[in-house]
Amino acid sequence: MNIIQAIILGIVEGVTEFLPISSTAHLILAARLLGQTQNEFLKSFEIIIQLGAILSVIVLYGGSLLRKPEVWTRIMAAFVPTAVIGFLLYKVIKNILFAHVNIILGSLFLGGLFLATFDSIHKEERSSVDEIVKIPYRTAIIIGLFQSLSVIPGVSRAAATIIGGLIFGIKRKTIVEFSFLLAIPTMLAATGLDLMKNARAFSSDQLVLLMAGFVTSFIIAIFSVKFLLQYIQKNNFIFFGIYRMIVPIIWLLLMQT
């Protein structure tokens, strides 16, 4: 990997992290298009630069929601299921699931089909929860269980949490913001676990590549977060579901030519 490729992957991560289209799937597919093989460094790179995108949430929300203890208690309640499952399945996730493109493509397609179908029939009620602090703890934990499905590359952490929230009567804007904030402990834990296991193996050149991807994803993610918040004011998630179904089809067509 060179610095240009690291920046390109940082852009891909920044754009896709908070959209319900699976940043992990897009990173893996983009890396393959750039001629990168799924070695140990690339797997770590794809995990660690996600923290750059998460940093954008801290910057954007640091002066408001992040200062409210009642918000954090709900975020941490939702984080627990993912933390447990992610820790137990770390080796399976990194060494097996990340390596199978067919799993990623299938998850993208099926997740897109479900997202588009679900949101086409979902109706938001006036009584839907409109603030994070009003989300019951039981619901927060269930949303965390939904998020844990995203250990499968292609499922999408954002899509899983958003669908879980909508099912349990949370307004679109509220569950999107909840998804943003839930990403903070989730990606901190994922990155921390990976660094604990692999940090000593990184060379100085690889650290430069990590920093380039990290900073790029942070900058781009700021615009991505703002875009999604504006988009959901007047739109649903059907477009993203359709997009998810198109990507695997295009990929398979490209690979056959």
Q: Give phi and psi for 2, each to the nearest 5.
A: -110, 180
Residue 178 belongs to domain spanning: 3-256
pTM of the full predicted structure? 0.82
* C-beta contacts of 229-235 below 8 A and 24+ residues apart: 229/173, 229/176, 229/177, 232/172, 232/173, 232/176, 233/173
Contact 153, 107 (CB under 8 A): yes
Q: Considering its fold, how many domains does the chain have in total? A: 1
Per-residue pLDDT of the chain in tens (257 residues, 90 and over written 9): 899 999 999 999 999 988 999 888 898 889 888 888 777 777 778 778 888 888 888 888 776 666 788 888 999 999 988 888 877 766 666 666 666 788 889 989 999 999 999 988 888 777 788 889 899 999 999 999 998 888 788 888 889 999 999 999 999 889 998 988 888 888 777 777 766 666 667 778 888 898 999 999 999 999 998 999 889 888 889 999 999 999 999 998 887 65
